[in-house]
Amino acid sequence: MTEPRSLPAPDPHPGDSVGEWVVVDLIGRGGMAVVYRVEHRGTHEIRALKLLTTRMSGDEAKKRFQREYRALASLDHPNVVHVFGMGTWEGRPWYVMEWLEGHDLKAEMDRWKGVSLSERFQRAEDVLVQVADALAHVHARGLVHRDVSPSNIMVLPDGRVKLMDFGVVKAPGGDLTAADELVGTVAWIAPEQFSGTGVDERADLYALGAVLYVMLTGRRPFHSRTLAGYLEKHLHGRPRPPREISPEVPAHLDEACLRLLAKDPADRFASASHLMHFVRAGTPLTTDVYSDRWPDRTVGRARETALLWEAVSALEAGRGGVVVLEGPSGAGKSRLLEDLAAHARKQGIAVLRGVCGKSSRRAFSGWMEVYGALTAGRAAQPSEVLRRVFEADDDRTSDAPVERYAIYAAFLDLLKGGPARLILLDGLQRADSGTLGLAEYLVRNLLALAHEPVLFVFARWPVAHSADPQAGLVNGEATGVPAQVVDLGPLPVAAIEDLLLDLVPGDRQAGTLAARIQRETAGNAHFAVEMIRALVEERIVRP
């Protein structure tokens, strides 16, 4: 006789308690979760509570639900829904978020049918800028929403906008997309999400472009009855310009919409901040534009930043690796290393950084600063071998020769068995043989043989493979661990325009100037910045 199967617990009803919250009534039910209005037992605050459904209570669904909460909990922005706590009820996770009086953007657009076109377009611009502001905050934390659509944009009675539903958010190191969810959001997703290429923050900008298209024209940019039809149109179709459908559409919104819907991410706006500056003149700068204070964010490197942050997330999970950041002089390698180091430190990861070529006479020069950080305060006692090599008073290691593998082994002892570490080595193209040999030895022994939580990131100029002395480090033949190569190509026009619009928000001529700067500098980040500095000093670029 078989034992009867236990039935899943029913959903809570009005009056039932979920943690410290009392259910008031049911708000809505979806495929993944059910949402209730709840009241706190002690403070009587009204909130919304999202509870995973019974049929989605498997381990993977729970893991995804918890990641959604963690993503929301990391955000603090007036245009993003706030969360206040998480728990479990009958084995099913839940979290509480702010209670919002309002309706989604689809319902809001229905209300626009009774207003003038100029009023409709002004409201569309207000929504666009608020969602872009929210996305700038989301993207700065390494997250990609991946489901920007009218149903996930809430409009409050006072006109404020809230970005909601982070159920398929992409966090560094984690992909929360379920195989059966593509159809539900297929009308809004970017071409790269279909093609399986890397997705970064610019995918959200494409989706926002599709939302803007609906706000301006009352119709989607693409229509199809099948997934294959949407696939074809998102990958290859060209939407009609909004002004062809409604000539009253403001020119700047028409241009913004078409740029957002560009097939190639490089042809879209470089960031959500870029979009905001383009659409609407921003707040005047509080400091003199002719000072040395420049925008402190990196522009034009969304794809590269996403790849680097993915590697750090893998390190947090205990998986080390090797990344080679390649680009010509002035491409921005050092800036990306600085950004990566700051991000890793925020995650509690120790960062060790060295620079190759500071001394042409000292062997192992690329590892000098790493050695200094490892032995600072003598928390790790170096061997006599390492002191003779790295603590000499001049650029000579020692008059007495030291066997190279003894140095390698002693340096390995400083690193093995420690916490997760990020090791950055800049200027690898200038590495002496000792620096390169030690790098190969450490990668082989810490990763290929021991699987230690260490991430190596080497930055260097591109080298022809046939003449590459570091080929074994890059392809893994010398280490057993092939490197992930991240190429820094030229900055696109959009990235330079993004930088210019930080200095002169809302200036419609910035795009023309950016195209000229990109052409004359071949997209070299250093030369582009220096050209802009010269234009500022000559007062050609000014607020």
What's the pLDDT tens digit per position in 154-182?
999 999 999 998 888 888 766 544 433 44
**In the predicted structure, residue 396 carries a pLDDT above the cut 70:** no
Higher pLDDT, residue 398 or 253: 253
Calculate mean pLDDT across residues 527-534: 91
Beta strands in 156-197 (DSSP E): 161-163, 170-171, 174-175
* pLDDT band at 234; cut points 50, 70, 90: confident
* pLDDT band at 289; cut points 50, 70, 90: very low
- Residues belonging to the chain: 543
**In the predicted structure, residue 287 carries a pLDDT above the cut 60:** no
Would you state the pLDDT for residue 370?
95
Note the pLDDT tens digit of each residue in 14-42.
999 999 999 999 998 877 889 999 999 99
pTM beyond 0.75: yes
Note the pLDDT tens digit of each residue in 306-365.
999 999 999 998 999 999 999 999 999 999 999 999 999 999 999 999 999 876 567 899
Note the pLDDT tens digit of each residue in 105-132.
999 999 998 899 999 999 999 999 999 9
Angstrom distance (rounded) from CA 298 to CA 268: 16
Q: How far, CA to CA in Å, does 88 sit from each of 40, 57, 96, 298, 315?
A: 16, 11, 11, 40, 29
Would you state the pLDDT for residue 196?
62
Q: For residue 105, give the amino acid letter.
A: L
Give Cβ neighbours of residue 83 (< 8 Å, ≥ 6 apart).
Answer: 69, 72, 73, 95, 96, 97, 98
* pLDDT band at 293; cut points 50, 70, 90: very low
**In the predicted structure, residue 282 carries a pLDDT above the cut 50:** no
Note the pLDDT tens digit of each residue in 56-110.
667 888 888 888 899 999 999 999 999 999 999 988 999 999 999 999 999 999 9
Would you state the pLDDT for residue 175?
55
Would you state the pLDDT for residue 308?
94
**In the predicted structure, residue 378 carries a pLDDT above the cut 70:** no
Exposure string of 226-252, with b = 16+ CB inside 10 Å and e = fewer, is: eeeebbebbeeeebebbbeeeeebbee
Note the pLDDT tens digit of each residue in 430-453.
999 999 999 999 999 999 999 999
Active-site annotation holder among 76, 104, 147, 204:
147
Least confident interval from 116-120, 132-136, 294-298: 294-298
Angstrom distance (rounded) from CA 456 to CA 328: 20
Q: How far is CA 448 from the centre of its chain?
A: 29
Would you state the pLDDT for residue 237?
83
Would you state the pLDDT for residue 183?
33
- The percentage of residues in the chain with a pLDDT greater than 90, rounded to a whole number, is 63
* Parallel, antiparallel or unpaired: strands 421-426 and 454-460: parallel
Give me the residues paired with residue 353 across strands: 424
Beta strands in 248-329 (DSSP E): 321-326
296 is an active site residue: no
Q: How far, CA to CA in Å, does 28 sit from each of 33, 58, 99?
A: 9, 21, 13
Q: Which two tokens stand for residue 394?
A: 């001049």
Would you state the pLDDT for residue 379?
59
Mean of pLDDT over the chain: 87
* pLDDT band at 231; cut points 50, 70, 90: confident
**In the predicted structure, residue 290 carries a pLDDT above the cut 70:** no
Would you state the pLDDT for residue 47?
96
Q: How far, CA to CA in Å, does 504 sit from each of 274, 341, 442, 514?
A: 11, 30, 47, 12
CA angle 35, 39, 42 (to 5 degrees): 145
